[in-house]
Amino acid sequence: MAAEIIREIRCSLPEFARPISGQFGTGIQQGLETALAEFVDRLAGLPAPTPRQLRIYRALGRAEFAEGRSLDALQAAFRLGARIIWRRYSRVARRLGLGPERLVTLAEAVFTHIDEVTAAAVRGYLDARTDRAGTLARARHRLLALLLSDAPHTGPDGTGPTRTGPAGTGSTATGPDAADLADAAQSADWPLPALLAAVSLDPRTPAPLPTARQPLARIASFGSRPPGDGRLPDHVLADLESPQPHLLLPDPATTLADPRVAGALQGRGAVIGPAVPPALAAQSLRWARLLRASLPKAPDQPVDCRDHLTDLLLLTDPSLVRLIAERRLAPLAPLTPKQRDRLAATLLAWLQTGRGTAPQVAARLGIHPQTARQRLHRVHRLFGPSLASPNTRLELEVALRATTPP
């Protein structure tokens, strides 16, 4: 009967079509024969399955998971086996002349027994899946730590980055060793993408929605799930428990287009770092954290570092920018704060419009052209011939962009 069941399953269920052989085939044969023998024992009045028998059924479920078949396929195989068993038993029962009542009793015994065996195998399958998820989550946690091993952390007040690795804030990190990274990615079942982007999240806002396998997942695990279930995709690496929570997005152009990712970033104070090769993931996170720390408040919509590369350049060496500002904006120092702010904004608008006319500057600032004209005259009196120098104008724009409120 065990052989007949295996033949029928292979013929009827596509997921079992390939040959069932080797240790896996032996395990299935043993599991079926144990279940059939145990049923006879149950009819003879012996007790429920022994621990050894339950271990065999659970091992059968674990083996099915290891073979890559779905839980639905496992349960379908048991249902088909139950029909085959009942067909054979009922034929024998009729030949022996069992009456209808005893046939009903036999049917109840068959399907009760199959339910118990199925439940044990399903438990083994789910245990294997849980073990796999835990192993994979740990491997992905190690991978994330390796990818970001050079990433700095902003201070608790958001004032600036502090380096956790050997490189300084303005240094160029070389990233983890390529061989170590490849090994870690393979262990984590996470194909290394050509590009990835880090996302820095504001710790004062609610954390992004967890991944599927763990309610407060540190690392996205594996397996498929229905779309729109409110969780991050499996290929997104995430540390949501860190004082500075963050994500790593492989193939950012594609991943950011995923509605699940877009939804998880809404209202989280998210800043998306530039897309970089995996070896520079720590740099992407450093830039994202640096820009996020400079924002006056957590943004409701995700902020993309690609739209703020010049700002990032200014933020990488604030001491040097202050030195430039002190030197180039010295003519504004004697003025009142209100006068300084107005003339600084006017000068910046003039520079950003390519030394534009008064109407162009007025349009940029939202003021009357005559007001812009008067301010420009004063700016030229204060700064004089130095405004003719391209180098001076460049340093002025750097200083003004770093010090003038948007």
Give tens-digit pLDDT for 14-35: 877 766 666 666 777 777 888 8
Contact 167, 282 (CB under 8 A): no
pLDDT tens readout for residues 257-288? 999 899 889 888 999 999 999 999 999 999 99
Contact 161, 286 (CB under 8 A): yes
Structural Rg of the chain based on CA atoms: 34
Q: Single out the residue of 258, 252, 255 nearest to residue 277, CA to CA.
A: 252
Could you tell me which residue, 150 or 358, shows the higher pLDDT?
358
Percentage with pLDDT > 90 across the chain: 29
Contact 271, 291 (CB under 8 A): yes
pLDDT for res 405: 60
pLDDT for res 47: 67
Contact 197, 170 (CB under 8 A): no
Q: Single out the residue of 276, 270, 272 nearest to residue 300, CA to CA.
A: 270
pLDDT tens readout for residues 52-75? 878 888 888 888 888 888 888 888
Provide the residue ranges of all domains of the chain, joining segments of one domain with +.
Answer: 2-138, 190-315, 327-403
One-letter amino acid identity for 108? E
Assigned CATH for 327-403: 1.10.10
d(CA 196, CA 201): 16
Residue written as tokens 């052209």?
369
What is the second-level CATH architecture of the domain 2-138? Orthogonal Bundle (1.10)
How do beta strands 246-250 and 196-200 pair?
A: antiparallel
d(CA 291, CA 103): 76
d(CA 340, CA 332): 6
pLDDT tens readout for residues 319-373? 888 888 889 999 999 999 999 999 999 999 999 999 989 999 999 999 999 999 9
